[in-house]
Structure 1
Amino acid sequence: MHGPTTSGWLLVALCGSTGAYCLVRMRECSGRARGAAGGEALMGFGMAAMAVPAAVLAPPRWSWAVYAVVFGAAALRALWPALRSAHHLHHLVGSLAMVYMALAMATGGGHAGHASAGRPLLTGALLVYYTAYVLRSGVRLIPVPSPSPVPSASSAAGAATPALVGGSRPELTLACRLSMGIAMLAMLLTL
């Protein structure tokens, strides 16, 4: 997580902006969608905080325990909904991965590359999971041409411009999830 400065700042920007978008989306959603957006905002901001380069801000040793507690609580919150929804199962895996990385950083001295920073088998399993998630999400963003009827003059005149945030733009939500998956892969690679 605390690798080269440039890549660290890029992860901070990517995850921070994704977390901010999820907060905006959370304001415009309700019910389960609101909860999912809140969980994604927490994940985005947590990943941004963990990715701050150690050369700029070396976190105190106790901060890794705070990350583990916060994401452990997020994992407990996602546990019951995960039994009913694949997306909530992904939130559970993500929260547990954050707990794992926080504990690995705490035991590895807070710097990536230490031999004690993480278990290779668990890290490998998470890398496989997130690689599959990123590939699947990326494929879902590829536009699929569909035959569409020629709109009539009345339907074209009454068509509204879609909003830029919220549930009306599912491709933006998917792009944010994809970017957080890529960021998670980058963070796991530094363990």
Structure 2
Amino acid sequence: MHAPASAAWLLVALCAASGAYCLLRMRSAVEEQRRAAGAEALMGFGMAAMAVPAAFVTPPRAMWLVCAVVFAAAGLRSVAGVGPRGARGPRGDAHQLHHLVGAVAMVYMSVVMAASPGGHAGHGTSGTPLLTGALLLYFAAYVLRSGTRLIPATATRLGHGQGQGYGHEYGGGTGTAALGWGDRPELARACRLSMGIAMFAMLLTL
């Protein structure tokens, strides 16, 4: 992306750290947790690659086309997981739909970067304003909603000593006290919030 180097490297670090934590979450004993974490790890590392400053490296355009194909496949997988066949319930379907929107945003940014001079967006002529605006509105709303949910959820679990952990999100009954670092729901929400903020910042450069 085309952004000040210091801000770009902060985005790289944030997205890479989020992706690394999602890899840790993939070791969870909860199947739905592993599936969600895999999609989010792909998103985190993909965003980290996109955020690398243009002055540092200029990837070939073919790389962005490959990224578009990869995230298009990830989006189709998210679509397949929504509805009766997924049997995840409203909360699980909401996660899949969010992954779908994220995949659409990644495909969009990949195509824009492949079509932009030098393979980097942000030169004033790239992107479709209507689609960019719609994605910006979505991720702004997602960040605000995630932020308001994160603090009360953390406070409630700390106040009661034992919460429902991912049992609340996926229907199981695991207690918070027994959860490892990869299964902490508040950390997973913080990770998603971080990636939502990073996605919003990256879309602003289009």
Per the normalisation by structure 2, the TM-score is: 0.81
Distance 1:98 1:116 in 2: 18
Structure 2 residue aligned with 1:186: 201
Structure 2 residue aligned with 1:98: 106
Distance 1:149 1:50 in 2: 41
Structure whose residues are more often helix by fraction: 2
Structure 2 residue aligned with 1:122: 131
Distance 1:32 1:63 in 2: 30
Which 5+ residue runs of structure 1 have no aligned equivalent?
Answer: 151-158
The structure whose Rg is larger is 1
SS at match of 1:176: helix
Structure 1 residue aligned with 2:38: 38
Distance 2:134 2:50 in 1: 21
Structure 2 residue aligned with 1:139: 148
Q: Matched residue pairs, number?
A: 181
Moved more, 51-60 or 172-181: 51-60
Distance 2:6 2:82 in 1: 35
Structure 2 residue aligned with 1:16: 16
CA RMSD of the aligned region, Å? 2.1
Distance 2:141 2:31 in 1: 28
Distance 2:76 2:192 in 1: 21
After TM superposition, list the pairs within 5 Å mapping 1:36-115 onto structure 2: 36-83=36-83, 85-109=93-117, 110-115=119-124
Aligned AA for 1:120? P
Shift of 1:34: 0.8
Per the normalisation by structure 1, the TM-score is: 0.87
User: Aligned residues: percent identity?
Assistant: 62
Structure 1 residues 123 and 162 mapped into 2: Cα distance closer, same or farther (>3 Å)?
same
For each residue in 1:101-134, what CA deviation from the matched residue of structure 2 results, as whole angstroms up to 9, or x when unmatched? Answer: 0101111222333343110000000000000000
Query: Does the 8 Å CA contact 1:15/1:47 hold for their aligned counterparts?
Result: yes
Query: Does the 8 Å CA contact 2:26/2:38 hold for their aligned counterparts?
Result: yes
Aligned AA for 1:87? H
Aligned AA for 1:73? A
SS at match of 2:144: helix
Structure 1 residues 160 and 130 mapped into 2: Cα distance closer, same or farther (>3 Å)?
closer
Residues 1:2 and 2:8 are matched in the alignment: no
Aligned AA for 1:54? A
SS at match of 1:94: helix
Aligned AA for 1:39? A
Structure 1 residues 15 and 29 mapped into 2: Cα distance closer, same or farther (>3 Å)?
farther
Q: 1:176 aligns with which of 173, 188, 191?
A: 191
Shift of 1:189: 0.2
Distance 2:125 2:2 in 1: 15
Which 5+ residue runs of structure 2 have no aligned equivalent?
Answer: 87-92, 162-174
